Amino acid sequence: MKKSLQAIMILTALAFPSYANAEEKKEVPENIQKRYDRRTEDMKAFDKNKDGILQAEELQGSKTVKFGAADLNKDGILSPEEVAASIETRKAVIGEKYGEAMAKQQANRVKNRYKNADQNDDGKVSKEEYDAYMSKHQANFDRNGDGVISKEEYRTDGEKLPSSYLRKPEKE
């Protein structure tokens, strides 16, 4: 049986060489490849020991860096103005490297992240709120549960937004 399956695969590859090559390559659309490239760059910035994966401590460090960059007056609270400035900065950086469409998508993602992090709906995001939200968010990165975040897991984070990222409405 095994030999006949091998023979069929060989004959298929000979008869349909483009099909065999397409199966091997599985080309990624350009817009998704750009997203992968951006996420890979982001990951490299937090991979302190440069081993190609993120340990929990490295991922935790990304929260501090991102919040610190947005907290312009360093008071531990992101005001609506600081959130808006953070979104615009991120949009400009992404737009320059990856184009306007991805910049808009990333800006919306960051905007929603801040909105969902604001647990008390006061229009501000405290360091505690941000850390709590991002800890939950980042826990979803380890898709295979092995305790580390591979490049593939990190770069595909945005492909399917788990419902656990979203804040559950409080029952009255």
Could you report the per-residue pLDDT of 8-51, keeping only the tens digit for each?
A: 555 445 554 444 444 445 687 887 777 778 778 878 888 889 88
Residues in CB range of 31: below 8 A, 6 or more apart: 101, 102
> Which CATH number characterizes residue 118's domain?
1.10.238
Predicted local distance difference test score (pLDDT) of residue 76 = 96
Average pLDDT per run of 10 along the chain, which is 172 residues long?
Answer: 52 48 61 77 84 81 89 97 94 88 88 94 96 86 80 67 49 50
- Evaluate whether residue 83 is within a structural domain: yes
Predicted local distance difference test score (pLDDT) of residue 127 = 96
- Evaluate whether residue 4 is within a structural domain: no
125 contacts 78 by C-beta, under 8 angstroms: yes
- Evaluate whether residue 111 is within a structural domain: yes
- Evaluate whether residue 139 is within a structural domain: yes
Structural domain boundaries, residue 133: 29-165
Domain count, the chain: 1
Predicted local distance difference test score (pLDDT) of residue 45 = 82
